[in-house]
Chain A
Amino acid sequence: MSGTLAMPPSAVPAGARATRTRLGAADQAYRALLASLATAVFVVVAVIVFELARGAGPSIHAFGWGFLTGTDWDPVAEKFGALPYLYGTLMSSFLALLIALPLGIGTAVYLSEIAPARVGSVLAFVVELLASIPSIVFGIWGVFVLAPFLRGAIEPWLIAHLGFLPLFRGFPFGLGMLNAALVLAIMIIPTLVTISREVLRAMPRTLREAALALGSTRAEAIAVTLDAARPGILGAVILALGRALGETMAVTMVIGNSNRISLSLLAPGATLASLVANEFTEATGKLYLSALIEIALVLFGITIVVNAVARLLVLWATGGRRDVAGAA
């Protein structure tokens, strides 16, 4: 590119070298101390992987890849298959995402483009409050408030009007996939809102101005900004998915705990996390325990991959600003 200044050769003396203060002995020791604490992070992750792999060993050895496709979970016969729980985890999380997406992104757009300042900060506070509610509190609310409501009002209506679809066939239990999806959706909305909002804020103002100056309506200008923010918002979505996949307590309490795969939203189900939460302390027998640890390992693998992809996207879209990526 034109414009770089060429230094006249005489300006830099021949023997000049870049100077840098060298750290003294005490400094190096201190630095080593800090570095060793930093390695703790590696150690922790390594330990987790090691423990999971070791504990799951017998089960992996016994079932191999069949573990992931097996549909029987029979502690008595010592036959273990993870498919119903994989299904439950993926189904509940994707459903939750489906519900949370319009609400989360709509709220993020509202906060960053439309809301007046004071309304915006109140809403942002409420979203943060939602984010800080512990999982167990969602669980108790889901069991004692949402379940009766679904059982009494929503599910009968669904069965009556949409019961011809396999999606809505069955009995109104109140607990089950629908309840879990709703509770999960509420839990991941703050993630969607916070990160999408930061991604939108990272978009240059001139993008919106250019669109408006060409005669766009407000909505059309927002569409331009959203379009430009697509990678980041995708990252937010995938991060929210990651949260949903790993969620344990609320789902355990409301999903009904059945190990049958059912297409119906009204049926009870189970997830990888709920299975472990329910059965780990009751597990008798080495293979049983090992199978449960393998379940945890599968869950670990899924969430690691999903979160890694998400973070890459968010980092790319926000131009590598770690403070935004750290908000995740």
Chain B
Amino acid sequence: MIETRPTPDIAAAPPADPPATPRPSLPVRATESGAASALPPRVALSARKFNLYYGTNQALRAVSLELPAHSVSAIIGPSGCGKSTLLRSFNRMNDLIPGVRTEGVVQVGDVNVFAPATDVVELRRRVGMVFQRPNPFPKSIFENVAFGLRLLGLRNRGEIEARVERSLLQAALWTEVRDRLERPALQLSGGQQQRLCIARCLAVEPDVVLMDEPASALDPTATARIEELILELKARYTIVVVTHNMQQAARVSDRTAFMLNGELIEIGETRALFTRPGKKLTEDYITGRFG
């Protein structure tokens, strides 16, 4: 049985490093009725009997799950079980593969992801993604974070600078790069590049952040920083992390889903899943009998 450290309370989220500047207060967002609320909208993810085919090969089989808002959900399973495929379905990155077909429903908040009327471009802005290998653009650090903002039509240099600074603060990278924003992003270390990619993703104010094995290409120190970051971000975003590292899933997530051969075997509160798994398959995987 894996020992899990108690997952931190959602309410208490102290930042690990003492910030040089005071933390920005939460942005005020107007709801439909015009009243201002203190927290960003709560966007949950769900799938109902979702099937996905690559040509004739079925990659996801009747997956149904609910991932709550403002929490961290982990998806674990052996290679090829479909966890990345499921993750990429939430922002329709699977569309890039020719011959992909889907059945069933996937929802982000109240948006039906695969409905013909859904605007993919806007969906992808709202559902951000961090990839396995850090992939900053071959531009400066500043331009990387500003990329999404420029896409959205922001022209005011002062506003762009402020948003870039805020995103880098949220990604816990600001203090390390504040003096060299014009330098090429590719000169940063692997861990820094990944935090830059997170900052870039946060700059466009998504509701959801999907992370596909975000720390697997990084060394242990960088991994630990990413994990800290995930815990900080959960106050504002709904986060889904795909990982092959069970200890990592146990450390950062509130809920964990276990997949095998394209099927969702079991999903539940993380501590419970790891200490008292309901299904035998889950227990076999967790104890290392396969995968």
Contacts and interface: CB of A to CB of B under 8 A. Distances in A.
A214 B204 contact: yes
A213 B203 CA distance: 13
Interface residues of B, number: 26
20 contacts: A204-B135, A207-B135, A210-B131, A210-B197, A211-B147, A213-B124, A214-B147, A214-B148, A214-B151, A214-B201, A214-B204, A215-B124, A215-B148, A215-B151, A215-B204, A216-B151, A217-B121, A224-B137, A228-B137, A228-B138
Interface of B: 91, 93, 96, 98, 121-122, 124-126, 128-129, 131, 133, 135-138, 147-148, 151-152, 197, 200-201, 204, 219
Nearest to A3: B219
A209 B84 CA distance: 14
B137 A207 contact: yes
Which 4 pairs between the two chains have the least Cβ-Cβ distance?
A215-B125, A206-B135, A213-B129, A214-B148
A51 interface: no
Contacts of A214: 124-125, 128, 147-148, 151, 200-201, 204
B200 A215 contact: no
Interface string A197-229: 000000010110111111111001000100010
A117 B98 contact: yes
A36 to B, nearest CB: 44
A204 B201 CA distance: 19
A216 B121 contact: yes
B137 A212 contact: no
Contacts of B133: 206
B121 A210 contact: no
A38 to B, nearest CB: 37
A213 B90 CA distance: 11
A101 B148 CA distance: 29
Contacts of B147: 211, 214, 224
A206 B125 CA distance: 17
Given A213-B129, A215-B152, 11 more contacts: A2-B219, A206-B131, A207-B135, A209-B131, A209-B135, A212-B96, A213-B93, A213-B128, A215-B122, A215-B204, A217-B121
A215 B120 CA distance: 8
Contacts of A3: 219
A202 to B, nearest CB: 13
B98 A116 contact: yes
A207 to B, nearest CB: 7
